Amino acid sequence: MKWLFLVIAIVIILIVILYNYLVRLNIRCKNAWSQIDNQLKRRADLIPNLVEVTKGYASYESKVLADVVNARNQANTMSDKAKNSEKVSEQLNKLLMLSENYPDLKANEIFKNLQIELTGTEDKIAFARQFYNDTVQHYNTAITVFPNNIMAKMMNYTEKEYFKVNDDEREVVKVEL
């Protein structure tokens, strides 16, 4: 009888430990995601300023960038968000590169600061994405192995999506020979 209690106690303790472990991993994923989200928001806040400053120089590119940023709100799945983010990055880089052709834009103090902030935000997004994907990989492995998978199923924990463009969704570039 005594032994039975002991076994039950140990099993309960193990379940509690496992539960806490999975909850902690889940929270870590959420935190990692909020880091990316913060930087995406920060970038979206900065871009209108950039559009304003560069309007007189590269009006077409500024307009395209503004449109791309507005399209951001329609994304729902993680890979859509990643795809969107990549598009914004691409357009943003184009606009920042254009400044090479306009010496007085390049010398503009506001533009210079925006350029530093925006390239920094791009770096931060890249680092945060790496951090998030590492965290998610850890989480996904943890909820798949036995016996965690039983626990995870009871807790309704499912695999999380990586923040990257899925390979099959990448547009195929046609090369004409």
Residue selected from 70, 93, 101, 113 as contacting other proteins according to rule CB under 8 A: 113
> What x/- string results for residues 114 through 153 when contact with other proteins is judged by CB under 8 A?
--xx-xx--xx--xx-xx----------------------
Between 66 and 133, whose beta carbon lies closer to other proteins?
133
Whole-number minimum distance, CB 63 to other proteins, in Å?
27
d(CA 21, CA 148): 10
Structure tokens at 86: 């990549």
Burial of 44 from C-beta contacts in 10 A (0-12 / 13-18 / 19+)? middle
Q: How far is CA 11 from CA 5, 18, 30, 48, 148, in A?
A: 10, 10, 29, 57, 14
In the complex, the smallest distance separating the C-beta of residue 159 from other proteins, rounded to whole angstroms, is 23
Query: Which residues are near other proteins by CB under 8 A?
Result: 35, 39, 113, 116-117, 119-120, 123-124, 127-128, 130-131
